[in-house]
Amino acid sequence: MRDRVHDAVLGNQTDAFLRKWAINLAIVGFLLHLVACTIYNLTGGFLEGTAPFVDSYLDALYTPFSIILAYEVYELIKAIPESFSNSIGKQFEVITLLVVRDIFKNLADINATAASTVDSDVAFVATEALAFVVLFTTALYFRSTTQGGNEGELQDDAVKMFVMQKKDLACALAVAYVCVAVYSITSWSYGVLEGDNDLSRTVFFANFFTLLILSDIIILLVSYKHITDFPQLARNTGFVLSTVVVRVGIATPGFTGAVLFILSAVLASVVLKLSILSEDKAEPSPVEANPV
């Protein structure tokens, strides 16, 4: 029963269906946003309070990236039962796309009529571009390092139970994801109607990463039943710490937020590398064969 629920919510067929619709919606959303930008530029006006969303054609990139991000968050949730390392790697893929979306938006907002402002904006975009490179490198490092894990090879009953618990947690997080998304879209839409045109990354992502931290802590605590090796415990704790730093970075605007993203990526990469070096010196236990 639990496996069927997991397959229905986070199975491969559901994943393929959502991927197809996410791509189609991203294309349609991009074209509709382009039309809105064109109308604004031709008429000089649009719906009241929506000018910041349509005053530049670069704003049209915000919509497809938001849709793709929504799908990537689903992929992040789907990776939770696989291993702690896999889910952290997907986390950095999500943050990489989030930073790219912010860069596009910031480029669209640059005002060429104020030289001092432009200098400050360009410096900030450059810092975010550096954060993007570091995050992208980290995501690729995690992907190359964690490939090949197969929980189906595990024979230990305790570990199998732990994997099932992570599947249950992932399903619960998927339901919470939908609820947070609906709440975020509703509250953001209401804010726009009230004159609040904020497009900050805190919309949805601040709340979701708070839930993600809670789920990571639950996994960390439950994993203590199955892992007694200190390097493994320290690794998982370090991954949770990197997620907390990401959450703080999401809520922190400006240069500090970009620096926090870089710090999180460096922290997670170093923790993973040290963990690999430690495992190379020791014979892996059944749990270590499939990192949790």
Q: State the Cα–Cα distance between residues 262 and 80, nearest whole angstrom.
A: 23
**Residue 110 carries which side chain, given as an amino acid letter?**
I
Q: State the Cα–Cα distance between residues 2 and 190, nearest whole angstrom.
A: 38
Phi then psi for residue 111, to 5 deg, are: -105, 110
Domain boundary assignment for the chain: 2-289
Per-residue pLDDT tens, the chain, 292 aa: give them. 778 888 889 989 999 999 999 999 999 999 999 998 888 888 866 665 667 778 788 888 889 999 999 999 999 999 999 888 899 999 999 999 999 999 988 888 776 445 555 677 788 899 999 999 999 999 999 999 877 554 444 456 777 888 888 999 999 999 999 999 999 888 877 776 676 666 778 888 999 999 999 999 998 888 887 777 788 888 999 999 999 999 999 999 889 999 999 999 999 999 999 988 887 776 544 444 454 5
Mind giving me the DSSP string for 213-276?
HHHHHHHHHHHTTT---HHHHHHHHHHHHHHHHHHHHHH--HHHHHHHHHHHHHHHHHHHHHHH
192, 51 Cβ separation under 8 angstroms: no
